[in-house]
Structure 1
């Protein structure tokens, strides 16, 4: 039985037709700050936000080339989408993800976002303007009256971060239990995180590729909101022996609330090998959007069980500190998001 979600009937809906929107309240115009650690910015960004409900906002986003001042109108397709959005609250307690498949002819993206509760939100917009590489901006948005921008490292995802050297660490979502081990992970160096996914006490046998890869891992550092996204590798039939990029880049429509996050005293299964996630994936075709299940399954022609229950993630944490981590994969036809609160030395 699936655990109730914070926003049971709420899913991020995308409005793909530019210039058409709901009756809007007074607009807010937000300027983005560059959010990729150790990367030189090539764009600036502006987000126009209009209230459409107590917890919903209509958003228009545009990027501009900082060297020419011209609006960006062409984007590369990354894992089937041109824009990926991540929204998380000040305490890094909730995660909301969405995609916009394509920008309009004038380079603007439009979307309707729904938030799980009032508060201050960090909204990351992740795209690859043609010729400029991966670019991620962060926008700060107040939703409702409550909340502030203070992020407390001792309350990530509702629990204290666990030092990765004290693992393995276990967390769960929707009946799936994930064991994480990363005893050698440290800031500034590429390291490996290994994962084992279980369902009903057994290795999960109903996993499928999610947007063409085995799993995704989204990291947000509490101290400075640095943001890293990496892709999992697997030793199952879908494992192709290729390297997983450490890129700041996101996908899926999902709202998530905290779950368990505790160290355990057993070893991880071995045998994780690499699966290819480098470069662009196949595009989506005409403008528009897909619903949550279509997002999950697009590009996943392999049968149920084609992804192994043991995975590995190569990642380089930009700095030591407390991180919220969300591991995303497809299990039983649904996108599963398993949260961890980690301390990385």
Structure 2
């Protein structure tokens, strides 16, 4: 499953006179989506319709303390902005990136949605000096036709093409840094053709299905996690045995997507997990 690469905001400049169906929506105010962390930036979004199920997302962050637009961002996992989206039933997942940052601090991201519906869009960035900030937007998408949804699977495994991810979430606990192990199989055997994706072995994105909280974690080779000499992001050296640290904020159900590069494609494997309360 391929993935493709979405703050103070004014009205977008449109050719509304000639393309009335492509009008921009009003600015959408974001909601801070990192519980337990300090909210230091606020976000706003303008959505421009570019086709039946395609949209241009214009995102701007503002410093909460000063009210000034943020124009400096640090790179995190090779990008200055990660934009992730799922529908309200958590049956789809999109992971995009902004091609560039405008001089006014506004990111623009092209996004294609798989079907009509309401989407939760998460803008994940690191404004310089402020730390990670994640803002959630609720975006209605009309038009197009329904597509077949890929329903998340329950633990302990899920698939994308010939790849299967076996997942062990037994160590996950709410409110604490937990270790989760996963194994990537290809045609039933440990995958030998894995490569890095955005500089790491694999990504895990959790979205709470009740609170809509967000967690973005990344994996390392199991032997490296235990002090060995596993891969450290070297292309072509990704182990099939991986570990990742994650810290879900609270107990309850989460949609989880594991993303990795296998066979020269970005693979996305969905799960539904339940995080227990801390002991």
Runs of 4+ in 1 over 2 A off after TM superposition: 11-14, 19-24, 156-162, 239-242, 272-276
SS at structure 2 position matched to 1:336: strand
- The Cα of 1:21 is off from its aligned counterpart by 7.4
- The Cα of 1:84 is off from its aligned counterpart by 0.5
Ranges in structure 1 where 5+ consecutive residues have no aligned partner: 147-155, 163-168, 243-271, 277-299
Provide the TM-score with structure 1 as the length reference.
0.70
Partner Cα separation in structure 2 for residue 308 and residue 138 of structure 1: 33
Count of matched residue positions in the alignment of Structure 1 and Structure 2: 262
Aligned to 2:120: 122
For residues 40 and 218 of structure 1, do their structure 2 counterparts lie closer, same or farther at Cα, with a shift above 3 Å needed? Answer: same
Partner Cα separation in structure 1 for residue 201 and residue 32 of structure 2: 28
- Does structure 1 retain, via aligned residues, the 8 Å contact 2:225–2:243? no
Aligned to 2:269: 338
- Does structure 1 retain, via aligned residues, the 8 Å contact 2:86–2:119? yes
Q: How large is the Cα RMSD of the aligned pairs?
A: 2.7
- Does structure 1 retain, via aligned residues, the 8 Å contact 2:118–2:139? yes
Question: 1:74-93 residue pairs with structure 2 within 5 A?
Answer: 74-93=72-91
Partner Cα separation in structure 2 for residue 142 and residue 115 of structure 1: 11
Considering Cα pairs closer than 8 Å and 6+ residues apart, tell me whether 1 or 2 has the greater RCO: 1
Ranges in structure 2 where 5+ consecutive residues have no aligned partner: 7-11
For residues 159 and 337 of structure 1, do their structure 2 counterparts lie closer, same or farther at Cα, with a shift above 3 Å needed? Answer: closer
The structure with the greater share of residues assigned to strand is: 2
For residues 75 and 105 of structure 1, do their structure 2 counterparts lie closer, same or farther at Cα, with a shift above 3 Å needed? Answer: same
For residues 191 and 241 of structure 1, do their structure 2 counterparts lie closer, same or farther at Cα, with a shift above 3 Å needed? Answer: closer
- The Cα of 1:28 is off from its aligned counterpart by 2.4
For residues 275 and 205 of structure 1, do their structure 2 counterparts lie closer, same or farther at Cα, with a shift above 3 Å needed? Answer: closer
Aligned to 2:100: 102
- Does structure 1 retain, via aligned residues, the 8 Å contact 2:208–2:252? yes
Alignment partner for residue 151 of structure 2, among 158, 173, 185? Answer: 158
Deviations along 1:24-76, whole A, 9 cap, x unmatched?
Answer: 41432101111111111111111111112221112211111111111011111
Provide the TM-score with structure 2 as the length reference.
0.85
Is 1:314 matched with 2:245?
yes
Aligned to 2:194: 207
